[in-house]
Amino acid sequence: MSEIVRGVIAKAKGAPVSIEDIVIPDPGPGEVKVKIAACGVCHTDLHYREGAINDQFPYLLGHEAAGFVDLVGEGVTEVQAGDYVILNWRAVCGDCRACRRGRPWYCFNTHNADAKMTLVDGTQLSPALGIGAFADKTLVAAGQCTKVDRRAPAQVAGLLGCGVMAGLGAAINTGNVSHGDTVAVIGCGGVGDAAIAGARLAGASTIIAVDIDDHKLELAREFGATHTINSNNRDAVKGIQEFTNGFGADVVIDAVGRPETYEAAFYGRDLAGTVVLVGVPDPTMRLDLPLIDVFGRGGSLKSSWYGDCLPSRDFPMLIDLYLQGRLPLDRFVSEEIELDNVEAAFEKMHRGEVLRSVVVL
Ligand SMILES: NC(=O)c1ccc[n+]([C@@H]2O[C@H](COP(=O)([O-])OP(=O)(O)OC[C@H]3O[C@@H](n4cnc5c(N)ncnc54)[C@H](O)[C@@H]3O)[C@@H](O)[C@H]2O)c1
Ligand SMILES: [Zn+2]
Ligand SMILES: [Zn+2]
């Protein structure tokens, strides 16, 4: 039997979101209905609402969530009703060329539920990142559910579903930060601060935070930054060099994603160092670098999608670290809000006032 619940819908480009009744069909084969407990507000939800991802309105927003399995479809063996899960947007296929080579975190054929959630008039909804979790319940593929320790509160656990995982993974997985490395992180929002926390976990000896907002730099220190640079007042590259004996950092993470921040990351790293781009540029942006510098400085230039995470490997491990007090996931939660405050949360995010607003259901 299908079920009617509330969901936060973006109906048209740029229009404020609204709460609507939505119809959740029963899970089909390989699908799972999940009762949402909490869902963080991510920049990507705002990108959807602004029509910057694609034009498949109406969207059911929300994708950074944790909750409880409500009902499973035929053939689902990974989870059962009552399980506590974090939702992910990387349900790996096991069969594409990346998966077959043992690199499932690059899976090129990830999947979502086939059955469609709709408005009550039958209009099909596009769930954000194949999730759609600003809702009492949602429908996903079984592989999008990762079981974790239920002692971690949902408003904290859900954060691993997107931005925080992207930042942690940019440092740990993509940047491969290890003991004694020097690291710089440009842009200290939720993603950048998670990269800082990841660099600390991995044993970096120096962690330099770069932002244009002093309040963000203070928060970055709480996540583990050892030095800070306000790049409005001071050249980021010179600052990074100064804090690394004149050399530059081993790993520089760009968590903004603009040509000028990427260029600072490129020149702020040591010879043979690594640049990780985790901030998402807009499609009009271009980069102009002397090719001789790309060659001459060596090292590697990488991008990080979802922190190159493998949810089944990384989520339970990171929740365990949180429960042991080694990863301060709760510090990312700036405020807990109701479902009807998502629009206001977008505005706060836009003004840079929050790391994460989290809808608690
Ligand atoms: N790669 C992925 O899988 C993935 C996942 C989630 C989010 N993201 C992207 O990561 C980026 C950061 O997300 P967020 O949630 O942390 O955003 P945010 O808006 O909370 O944080 C951005 C931070 O960058 C700072 N900043 C802006 N311009 C700057 C500049 N020129 N120099 C230095 N600092 C600057 C801001 O002051 C702010 O503190 C976004 O582009 C987002 O879309 C990527
Ligand atoms: Zn695959
Ligand atoms: Zn997101």
User: Residue 125 has what pLDDT?
Assistant: 98
User: Residue 293 has what pLDDT?
Assistant: 97
Indicate the pTM of the whole model.
0.96
Please check whether residue 24 is in contact with residue 3, taking contact to mean a CB–CB distance below 8 angstroms: yes
27 vs 262: CA distance, rounded Å: 43
User: Residue 1 has what pLDDT?
Assistant: 85
State whether the beta carbon of 129 lies less than 6 angstroms from ligand 1.
no
One-character DSSP codes across 139-155: EEEGGGEEE--TTS-HH
State whether the beta carbon of 252 lies less than 6 angstroms from ligand 1.
no
Ligand nearest to the CA of 210: 1
Q: Which domains are delineated in the chain?
A: 3-161+328-360 (3.90.180.10), 167-304 (3.40.50.720)
Q: How far is CA 199 from the centre of its chain?
A: 16
Half-sphere exposure (CA, 13 Å, Cβ side) for 266?
Answer: 20
In terms of Cβ atoms closer than 10 Å to its own Cβ (0-12, 13-18, 19+), residue 255 is: buried
Ligand 2 centroid–CA 161 distance in Å is 19
Ligand 2 centroid–CA 107 distance in Å is 4
- Greatest distance between any 2 Cα atoms in the chain: 66
Ligand 2 centroid–CA 101 distance in Å is 9
Q: From first to last of its 361 residues, what are the pLDDT tens digits of the chain?
A: 899 999 999 999 989 999 999 999 999 999 999 999 999 999 899 989 998 888 999 999 999 999 999 999 999 999 999 999 999 999 999 999 999 999 999 999 999 999 999 999 999 999 999 999 999 999 999 999 999 999 999 999 999 999 999 999 999 999 999 999 999 999 999 999 999 999 999 999 999 999 999 999 999 999 999 999 999 999 999 999 999 999 999 999 999 999 999 999 999 999 999 999 999 988 889 999 999 999 999 999 999 999 999 999 999 999 999 999 999 999 999 999 999 999 999 999 989 899 999 999 9
State whether the beta carbon of 306 lies less than 6 angstroms from ligand 1.
yes
The CA-based angle 55-58-62, given to 5 degrees, is 100
- Indicate left, alpha or beta for 69 from its phi (over 0: left) and psi (-120 to 50: alpha): beta
State whether the beta carbon of 276 lies less than 6 angstroms from ligand 1.
no
Ligand nearest to the CA of 45: 3
Residue 323 is encoded by which pair of tokens?
Answer: 């429960």
State whether the beta carbon of 43 lies less than 6 angstroms from ligand 1.
yes
User: Residue 52 has what pLDDT?
Assistant: 84
State whether the beta carbon of 235 lies less than 6 angstroms from ligand 1.
no
In terms of Cβ atoms closer than 10 Å to its own Cβ (0-12, 13-18, 19+), residue 290 is: exposed
| Span 165-216, pLDDT tens digits | 999 999 999 999 999 999 999 999 999 999 999 999 999 999 999 999 999 9
For residues 15-37, one letter each, b for 16 or more C-beta atoms within 10 angstroms of the residue's C-beta and e for the rest, the string is: eebebbebbbbebeebbbbbbbb
State whether the beta carbon of 257 lies less than 6 angstroms from ligand 1.
yes
Ligand 2 centroid–CA 144 distance in Å is 13
State whether the beta carbon of 297 lies less than 6 angstroms from ligand 1.
no
